[in-house]
Each structure stands twice: as C-alpha cells, then as structure tokens.
Amino acid sequence: PPTSNTDGSPLTNLAGYIIRYGTDLGSLATEVRVANPGLTTYVISDLAPATWYFQVTAYNSSGVESSPSATASKTIS
C-alpha cells in the first residue's frame, strides 16, 4: 500500500483502492472498489478471452483519489 501522498506528506487515512479494467486500453470502463486498505490481493474472475488492461488508484477517507498506477495487461485465452 502507498505510504505517502503525491505531495510527499505521510498518508494517514488510506480508505481503499479502485481497480479499473477493460479490453480497450483507452477506456477502462469497469471498476471494482475495494474498501479494505489492508488488502494486497484481489481476484477478478470470469474474464472472457481477450487482452485485458488494468489500473489501480488509491483513495483516502475524504474520497481524494491518487493518480493511476502504470497499466498492466493480461491475455486470457
């Protein structure tokens, strides 16, 4: 989990993560909110065969969201 805000100040109120994903890199239209900041693994199941792209952001208790992570991809066959 992240430990600091983008301005370098300590992150003390992490509330969870948002995982955005889809098969179009330019439009990650599906999202899952994970309201457990201590979670380090999350499984998205039942993905159709395709190349899927994923990004994660963190959000704090005020609802402020971080910049997205680097995009990851996974090809399901």
Positive/negative CA dihedral, 53, 23, 50, 46: positive
How large is the C-alpha radius of gyration of the chain?
Answer: 14
Mean pLDDT of 4-18: 86
**What are the pLDDT digits (tens) for 26-69?**
999 999 999 999 998 999 999 999 999 999 999 999 888 888 99
Residue 36: its pLDDT value, please? 94
Determine the pLDDT at residue 51: 98
Q: What is the DSSP string of 6-52?
A: TTS-B---EEEEEEEEESBTTB--EEEEE--TT--------PPSEEE
pLDDT at res. 9: 82
Q: What is the mean pLDDT of residues 16-34?
A: 96
